[in-house]
Amino acid sequence: MKTDKLIIFSTIFFLFLSFVFLTIVESRNTNLDNSNVWMLYFTDPKSDSLDFAVENHSKNSDFRYEILIDKKVVIESNLSVPSGETKTVPVPKDTVDFSDRKITITVTAGDNKKEIYKNL
């Protein structure tokens, strides 16, 4: 009888301890500022807008972007996004004819390169 209670209480204690440990580990992993990542995405992917956003959770704050039409660079520039912030880049549609073409937006930060595509 005594060993049964000991087994039950020790099981409950270790189960509680494991839940606390997993909660702490999961809360650290869900915070993007603890990881060295950045994201690139269109602000409105369903429309014909080419405005895109760079969400930075890395140590690097200097980005370079290129906008390509059919694999030819038409716009290129530098962008500064501090860590923990998101910057939206508006793409003016009146400067270049984007109709009926494949648009590629390439963003580079150090050795890391990401691309997004859209056909208009």
Q: Find where tokens 């508006």 sit.
A: 90
Tell me which CATH code domain 35-119 carries. Answer: 2.60.40.10
Mean pLDDT of the residues in the chain: 88
Mean pLDDT on 108-115: 91
pTM to 2 decimal places: 0.73
pLDDT, tens digit (0-9, with 9 covering 90-100), for 30-71: 777 667 889 999 998 888 888 999 999 888 889 999 999 888
